[in-house]
Amino acid sequence: TSNTAQVLRELNRTGLTLVVIEHDMTFVRDIAERVTVLHQGRIFADGSLDEVTRRQDVRDIYLGRK
């Protein structure tokens, strides 16, 4: 995954916009500047990974309750 992340970051540095669908949060943290969470076919949350993962509703639905 680190090789894939490196390639994606390099492509982005050249000006290419990438859309990646992924559930591996470690990988997402490595590559994402902005994330969008979909729930039941609709945008549920959007922003930086930190902003989105701080939301209690996102954690409850996707990351599990602590």
Q: Look at residue 65 in the predicted model and tell me its pLDDT.
A: 63
pTM value surpassing 0.85: no
pLDDT at 9 over 70: yes
Q: How far apart are CA 57 and CA 40, in angstroms?
A: 14
Alpha helices in the chain (DSSP H): 2-13, 25-31, 49-54, 56-58
What would the pLDDT profile of 13-65 be if each residue is shown by its tens digit?
999 999 999 989 899 999 999 999 999 999 999 999 999 999 999 988 887 76
pLDDT of residue 62: 82
CA distance 15 to 26: 23
CB atoms within 10 A of CB 1: 11
Residue 66 has pLDDT above 60, yes or no: no
